[in-house]
Amino acid sequence: MASPTPAPSSPTLQEELALAIRHEHTALNQLLSNRLPLCLPPHTSDPFIYAQGLCVVRHLYTGFEYAWETLLSQPPSDDSSIPTPSYLHTLRTPNLSRHLRQSRDVHDLSQQLGPHRTIQLEKLIGATIHFHKSTFTLNLQHPHLILAYAWTLYLAIFNGGRFIRAELEKAGPGFWGGSPDKRDWPLEFFNFAGKEDGNDVEREFKRRFDIAGEELSRQEKDDVVAEAKRIFGVFEAVVRELDRRVVDGEGFGGVVLGGRMALRRVLQSPSVVVGGVLGWVCRGWWMVVGPCLGRRRKISGGRGALGHEVQGEEKA
Ligand code: HEM
pLDDT of residue 77: 63
DSSP 136: H
Q: What is the pLDDT of residues 261-285, one digit of tens each?
A: 666 666 665 544 444 433 333 333 2
- For residue 286, give the ligand 1 atom closest to its CA: 10
| pLDDT tens per residue across span 7-16 | 778 999 999 9
Q: Which of 14, 25, 56 most suits a substitution to test ligand 1, by most atoms within 8 Å of the C-beta?
A: 25
Ligand 1 centroid, distance to 230 Cα (angstroms):
15
Q: What backbone phi and psi angles, to 5 degrees, belong to 258?
A: 85, 25
CB 71, CB 84: distance < 8 Å: yes
Q: Would you list the DSSP string of 163-187?
A: HHHHHHHTT-TTTTTS-S-GGGSS-
For ligand 1, atom 33, name the residue with the nearest CA. 156
Q: How far apart are CA 176 and CA 170, in angstroms?
A: 10
Ligand 1: residue whose CA is nearest its atom 11: 159
Pairwise CA distance, residues 161 & 176, whole Å? 17
pLDDT at residue 260 in the model: 61
Residue ID of nearest Cα to ligand 1 atom 17: 159
Which DSSP letter does residue 315 get?
A: -
What domains are defined for the chain? 13-74+83-310 (1.20.910.10)
Q: Which residues of the chain have pLDDT under 70?
A: 1-3, 77-81, 249-316
Give the atom of ligand 1 at the shortest distance from the alpha carbon of 18: 41
CA dihedral 177→182→185→188, nearest 10 degrees, is: 180
**What distance in angstroms lies between residue 58's CA and the mean position of ligand 1's atoms?**
17
